[in-house]
């Protein structure tokens, strides 16, 4: 036997022994880990679970989730309104409206941060400069920012056909708030101004939407005054693309509490009463229900100063303005529940180019 053959034989034998040793070490390690998990105390396991939960909550509270985007934003640029709905949860606590160039700057910041849809609301958005302010924002968002969806929620009483001629082509969806098809009930609720019939405004706006190719939507707040009403026939006749049905919600400082401008306690209905209303209208295919649970934290609400409003504690706690600290920093204090947003159907076909309009 040569010396080379002898050395190779020894090396091969040592390598085999080393491999066997490694395998034994791995088996021992797995056995120890298994026994440790099996026999350690329940208290230790509970402590681990609590620690993981606290870590998750802390991360969510600090807004460290890098995946959170302002995909759909509701910009309440004014709190002023010509109606006096008793359950209103965004009341006229200020008369402030940003200069339009500042509003446009903030909207561009939101677009760059991931916004795809903006909804303009109030207050009543058409009360500012007779609708020109919201019209210019609509045009800016659709033409310059090229947002997929630009929408408005209004009571409909201040919208003229001229507005549709000037700005209608830039708007995807116009939602009109209507809580009853009984004029007496609308009067009790406060959804009217003077003697002007709210239902006349509703039908006029619906006709304008048909004429100018805008998707028409209806929002209704279910409360003690309309919970027993059957609206199915009227809704089917109006034929909206969506009928959002909200359970009346209390928000501290807005429609509940000592510093609130409204007291909506007498308007609140139970979950059972809300479900009964939904059951009565189960055959209305365009109905989209939102209970208090689904509604409270599933909206990104931007106020008149462009601050996100955190509703998680039953009030509206503002962040700093996105104009001062940027979108990402302000989002950390929005209280936004993205999972509930998706669960309630917050992401839907919201561009009129993708909606099958029947006119």
**CB neighbours (10 Å) of residue 285?**
7
Cα 324 to chain centroid distance, Å, stands at: 23
Based on the residue annotation, tell me whether 209 is a catalytic residue of this protein: no
What is the C-alpha separation between 162 and 142, in angstroms, rounded? Answer: 19
What is the C-alpha separation between 265 and 257, in angstroms, rounded? Answer: 10
Residue among 354, 334, 350 nearest 70 (CA):
334
Based on the residue annotation, tell me whether 23 is a catalytic residue of this protein: no
Based on the residue annotation, tell me whether 88 is a catalytic residue of this protein: yes
Strands 117-121 and 149-154, by their bridges, are: parallel
Burial string for 182-219 (b: 16+ CB within 10 Å, else e) reads: eeeebebbbbbbeeeebbebbebbbebbeebebbbbbb
Find the DSSP H helices in 281-321. Answer: 292-295
Residue 176: burial class (beta carbons within 10 Å; 0-12, 13-18, 19+): buried
Q: 139-143, long-range: CB within 8 Å, 24+ apart, which pairs? A: 139/167, 139/170, 140/104, 140/107, 141/107, 141/111, 141/170, 142/170, 142/171, 142/172, 143/170
Query: Could you say which of 88, 178, 209, 311 is catalytic?
Result: 88
Query: Could you say which of 23, 85, 141, 209 is catalytic?
Result: 85
Angle, helices 100-112/132-139, rounded to nearest 10 degrees: 30
Query: Could you say which of 23, 81, 209, 286 is catalytic?
Result: 81
What is the C-alpha separation between 305 and 103, in angstroms, rounded? Answer: 9
Residue among 315, 337, 347 nearest 60 (CA):
337
**CB neighbours (10 Å) of residue 324?**
12
- Length, in residues, of the chain: 359
- Known catalytic residues are 81, 85, 88
């Amino acid at each position: 036997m040569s010396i080379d053959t002898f050395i190779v034989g020894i090396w091969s034998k040592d390598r085999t022994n080393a491999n066997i040793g490694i395998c034994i070490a791995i088996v021992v390690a797995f056995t120890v880990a298994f026994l440790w998990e099996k026999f350690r105390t329940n208290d230790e396991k509970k402590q681990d679970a609590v620690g993981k939960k606290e870590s998750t909550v802390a991360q969510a509270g600090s807004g460290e989730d890098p995946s959170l985007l302002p995909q759909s934003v509701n910009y309440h640029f004014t709190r002023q309104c010509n109606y006096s709905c008793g359950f209103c949860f965004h009341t006229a606590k200020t008369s402030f409206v940003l200069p339009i160039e500042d509003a446009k700057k903030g909207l561009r910041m939101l677009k760059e941060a991931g916004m795809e849809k903006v909804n303009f609301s109030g207050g009543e958005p058409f009360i500012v400069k007779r609708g020109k302010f919201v019209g210019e924002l609509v045009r800016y968002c659709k033409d310059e920012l090229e947002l997929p969806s630009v929408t408005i929620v209004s009571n409909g009483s201040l919208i003229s056909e001229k507005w549709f001629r000037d700005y209608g082509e830039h708007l995807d969806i116009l939602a009109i708030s209507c809580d009853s098809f009984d004029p007496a009930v609308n009067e009790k609720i406060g959804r009217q101004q003077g003697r002007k019939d709210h239902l006349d405004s509703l039908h006029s706006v619906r006709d304008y939407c048909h004429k100018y190719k805008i998707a028409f939507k209806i929002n209704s707040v279910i409360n003690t005054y309309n919970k027993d009403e059957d609206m199915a026939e009227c809704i089917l006749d109006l034929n909206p693309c969506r009928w959002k049905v909200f359970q009346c919600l209390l928000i501290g400082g807005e429609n509940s509490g000592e510093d609130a401008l409204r007291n909506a306690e007498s308007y609140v209905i139970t979950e059972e009463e809300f479900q009964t209303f939904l059951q009565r209208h189960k055959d209305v295919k365009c109905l989209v229900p939102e209970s208090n649970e689904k509604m409270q934290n599933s909206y990104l609400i931007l106020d008149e100063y462009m601050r996100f409003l955190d509703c998680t504690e039953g009030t509206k706690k503002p962040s700093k303005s996105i104009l001062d600290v940027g979108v990402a920093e302000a989002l950390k204090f929005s209280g936004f529940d993205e999972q509930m947003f998706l669960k309630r159907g917050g992401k839907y076909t919201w561009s009129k180019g993708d909606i099958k309009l029947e006119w």
